[in-house]
Amino acid sequence: MRYSRDLTGYGRTTPDPRWPGGARIAVQIVLNYEEGGENSIEHGDPASEAFLSEIIGAQPWPGQRHWNMESIYDYGARSGFWRMHRMLCDLPITVYGVATALERGPEQVAAMQEAGWEIATHGLKWIDYRNVPREVEADHIAQAVALHTAITGERPHGFYQGRTSMNTVALGCEEGGFAYLADTIADELPYWHVHNGRPQLMVPYTMDANDMRFSSGQGFGTGTDFFDYLRDSFDILYAEGAAGAPKMMSIGLHCRLAGRPGRAMAIQRFLDHARSHEGVWFASRLDIARHWAAEHPFQPRTRPSQMDRDAFVARFGGVYEHSPFIAERVWDAEMGAVHDTPGGLAGRMAQMFRASGDDERLGVLQAHPDLAGKLAQAKRLTADSTAEQASAGLDALTDAERAEFTRLNDAYVAKHGFPFIIAVRDHDKAGILSAMQARVDSDTATERATAEAQVTRIATIRLKEILK
């Protein structure tokens, strides 16, 4: 089985985004423009809208219009948008514009363009695509791009569907014309996603620093709640940036939600707070996408989880000395992006080794050569073992050193039934000899556990070299 999700990402050390001017944080504000694109009988939909409104717990009304729901959305276009426009018109924000909503808001579109805002596509309609057939969603995306282009005079460079299906990201990649997709909440930095061999930049969005939580039972109750959350998010990301790991802070706003007076003040207070700091880059999502593509272009790399079985075993079958069955079992089990890093693959191979039978694990130990033994002298070691022993100077021993290694090797094998094993790249020649002298008299159970731990350590070192 191949697991589709990437649960590793950038790992413990994130890349330096090198934001313009050495900024410590990139602040990216999205204004969702959905009013006029939501579910409505008048829009040809089967039921009224029920999502992201003041009506907590609202349900669709099949076959009926919902006056209160429609007027809540009307507020967003008629009043909330203009309050947000006055507040944000001097910033490079991104609008997620539903194409049919933009079509019904020509004055709002003109104001967006006068402010220099990026207008990304938010799909054709603000509907749930969960159960929409793939071909229908693909057609809607194509219609959205065409309609968006006709309305604004320029095709959208970014795409955020929002109420997605499991096909949405793939369809966005296949459309082929987007500088970035935003249907991901998986990170605080852009990242490259590969679909059918083609890289696509993803610029993650947010559902926590988002006014949508005013419309949920467990969300923000007051503007102060929202401001506190935005401020705290900013402060920790700013501190991380000052410490050398800058990130991106996304903020999601909706005209009918944040545009209400009691909530808009939270946005103003947050802007004042952010502007009081040096090294803050306010940017559109397209600004961020273009910057990332220039500073961190896609780099092809070996992805073990995508290799066929023969190629995988050929490449990694020797990581555990003369024991390709470990690699075979790894490939046959669940694999995914989490196994495409040295640490991820090492962990999976170690798991398979530890889950092997007692005789199998003993066989792996017995497959290891003696250190500085006869196989080394006869140049019959594997390439990995040869390089490892040479790295510790075991290929250049004096006669006295060789005699001591031979004596200890013989005594160790006679007592424990397998060779002395140590990750030689972690030690120099003197340290290895000292460890042999100390361990030869240990009890066999202890040595068995130590040797198995060393085998997994050796595999980890080998994988770091293979996948560097």
Q: What are the residue numbers of the active site?
A: 368
CA angle 24, 27, 32 (to 5 degrees): 170
Radius of gyration of the chain (CA): 30
Label the pairing between strands 191-195 and 198-202: antiparallel
Cα–Cα distances in Å, from 305 out to 285, 316, 332, 344, 462?
31, 12, 11, 11, 17
**Alpha carbons 245 and 144: distance in angstroms, whole number:** 37
Joined together, the tokens standing for residue 300 give 């092809």
**Alpha carbons 46 and 312: distance in angstroms, whole number:** 51
**Alpha carbons 104 and 151: distance in angstroms, whole number:** 10
Q: Which segments of 289-366 are extended strands (E)?
A: 335-336
**Alpha carbons 292 and 208: distance in angstroms, whole number:** 23
Torsion from C-alpha of 126, 127, 132, 134, nearest 10 degrees: 20
Specify whether the CB–CB gap between 190 and 204 falls below 8 A. yes
With b for 16 or more beta-carbon neighbours within 10 A and e for fewer, the 17-53 pattern comes to: bebeeebbbbbbbbbbbbbbbbbbbebeeebbbbbbb
The one-letter code for the residue type at 149 is T
Cα–Cα distances in Å, from 413 out to 395, 446, 448?
21, 14, 12
**Alpha carbons 368 and 348: distance in angstroms, whole number:** 21
Q: Give burial (CB, 10 Å; 0-12/13-18/19+) of 5.
A: exposed
**Alpha carbons 144 and 121: distance in angstroms, whole number:** 7
**Alpha carbons 354 and 50: distance in angstroms, whole number:** 52
Residue tagged 């306010």 (tokens): 282
End-to-end CA separation in angstroms for the chain = 25
Joined together, the tokens standing for residue 333 give 């089990």
Residue tagged 């805002």 (tokens): 117
Label the pairing between strands 25-33 and 2-3: unpaired
The distance of Cα 193 from the centroid of its chain, to the nearest Å, equals 9
* 3-class SS of residue 357: coil
